[in-house]
Amino acid sequence: MCTSISYRKKDLYFGRNLDLEFSYHEQVVITPRNHLFHLRNGEDFYNKYALIGIATVIGDYPLYYEASNEKGLVMAGLNFPGNACYLSPKEGAVNVTPFEFIPWLLGQAETIMEIKELLQNLNLTNISFAKELPLSPLHFMISDQTSSIVIEPMEDGLHIYDNPYDVMTNNPPFEYHLWNINNYRNLTPHVGTNNFSSNYELQTYCVGMGAIGLPGDASSASRFVRAAFHLTNAPKEDTEDANVTQVFHILDSVSMLKGSTLTQEKKNDMTLYSCCINASKGIFYYKTYDNSQIHAVYLDHVDLNSDGLSCYDLKKEQRIHYQN
């Protein structure tokens, strides 16, 4: 379970909640330019653009959950079980594995238009990183300064959707979410009017009544509607701090609380971390479930032409400022 959003003012801010029952020891990871990736199709790939995002690093290989490149293009993989389908390598196709997908795209593209060109002959293959680390069933959201798309690898091929809502969650497939949101066309951030009947003088007794019916549960369909409603009506602020704060508040509105949602194995599905990437400036902000203080890592504060990855452990212990 996860939620991602794109919020635009002058800059592009990409927000994401990672909802999972356990951690893979993820870190904030900066991949410099011209980092060597040995692709499973037998080719070597050197990324043209530096990346910053959260990844699990195994053997100097960053397995990115989401990332932004230095050109302001950002991408995230979200859980898509039961629908995601990866295929065997195909002769004549561009064969890329899901764990290579984020650095492969962000390492060479600057815009959504370029992404769509790269996807034309793409085949996402069913090759795992290691026997003990099987492939995660994923679909993907990609955003630039002007638009967002969703990519869903399914049994009948690769589905690519324009994403006018700048929101993505999980199952069902994205086409369902595009239709389901029609059920909430009556919602408004305003007080609302009496559409029930002109025969009754129905009273407005508090603010917020225009949004009665906004779903509050943790299902992916409900989180999609809730995130889209808050994102669409969120004011665009004038300062970096205010915009970052607004993104985190939107993410908080769809976060998973420990104890509120259990997996089939009766484990807590919870928001392990929330992040906000200023993709335009290369600043990665995050907070964790146990530490609500916002931390920041700057892409351009490291040598982007260096030889190795720059990794930063997530600060997970709560920090409380005592005033007296």
Length of the chain: 324
268 pLDDT tier (thresholds 50, 70, 90): confident
Q: Which residue has the higher pLDDT, 73 or 192?
A: 73
Evaluate whether 16 touches 252 at the Cβ level (below 8 Å): no
Question: Which tokens in the block code for residue 181?
Answer: 């949101």
Span 214-228, average pLDDT:
96
Please give the model's pTM, rounded to 2 decimal places: 0.94
Give the H/E segment covering residue 56. strand 51-58
For 73, 105, 114, 150, 254, the CA distances from 108, given in Å and listed in that order, are: 10, 6, 9, 18, 32
* Pairwise CA distance, residues 226 & 215, whole Å: 7
Q: What pLDDT score was predicted for residue 6?
A: 98
Query: What's the pLDDT tens digit per position in 52-68?
Result: 999 999 999 999 999 99
Query: What's the pLDDT tens digit per position in 280-297?
Result: 999 999 999 999 999 999
Of 99, 167, 173, give the one whose Cα is nearest residue 136.
Answer: 99
For 87, 105, 233, 306, the CA distances from 174, given in Å and listed in that order, are: 20, 21, 22, 39
* Pairwise CA distance, residues 11 & 228, whole Å: 19
Q: Give the CA-trace dihedral at 83, 177, 161, 111, to 10 degrees.
A: -110
Q: Edge-to-edge, what's the strand order for the sheet holding 167-168?
A: 167-168, 2-8, 12-20, 270-278, 283-288, 291-298
Q: What pLDDT score was predicted for residue 199?
A: 86
Give the H/E segment covering residue 273. strand 270-278
Percent of the chain, pLDDT > 70?
Answer: 100
Span 71-90, average pLDDT:
96
Q: What pLDDT score was predicted for residue 35?
A: 96
Peptide linkage before 172 cis (omega within 30 of 0):
yes
Q: What pLDDT score was predicted for residue 267?
A: 87
Total Cβ atoms within 10 A of residue 156:
6
Given the structure tokens 């293959």, which residue do they identify?
Answer: 125
Percent of the chain, pLDDT > 90?
Answer: 82
Query: What's the pLDDT tens digit per position in 119-145?
Result: 999 999 999 999 888 899 999 999 999
Sign for the pseudo-dihedral over CA of 101, 102, 103, 107: positive
Burial 139-153 (b: 16+ CB within 10 A, else e): bbbbbbbebbbbbbb
Evaluate whether 279 touches 13 at the Cβ level (below 8 Å): yes
Evaluate whether 3 touches 227 at the Cβ level (below 8 Å): yes
Q: Is 166 left (phi over 0), alpha (psi -120 to 50) or beta?
A: left
Given the structure tokens 């129905």, which residue do they identify?
Answer: 202
Q: Given the residues 2, 85, 206, 275, select the one marked as catalytic.
A: 2
Cα angle 173, 139, 294 (rounded to 5 degrees) comes to 115
257 pLDDT tier (thresholds 50, 70, 90): very high
Q: What pLDDT score was predicted for residue 205?
A: 82
Residue 2 is a catalytic residue: yes
264 pLDDT tier (thresholds 50, 70, 90): confident
Query: What's the pLDDT tens digit per position in 159-215?
Result: 999 999 999 999 999 999 999 999 999 998 988 788 887 888 888 888 888 888 999
User: Does the pLDDT of residue 155 top 80, yes or no?
Assistant: yes
> 317 in helix, strand or coil?
coil
Q: What pLDDT score was predicted for residue 100?
A: 97
> 217 in helix, strand or coil?
coil
Query: What's the pLDDT tens digit per position in 33-45?
Result: 999 999 999 899 9
Total Cβ atoms within 10 A of residue 235:
9
Residue 310 forms beta bridges with which residues?
A: 30
User: To the nearest 5 percent, what fractions of the chain are helix, strand and coil?
Assistant: 20, 35, 50
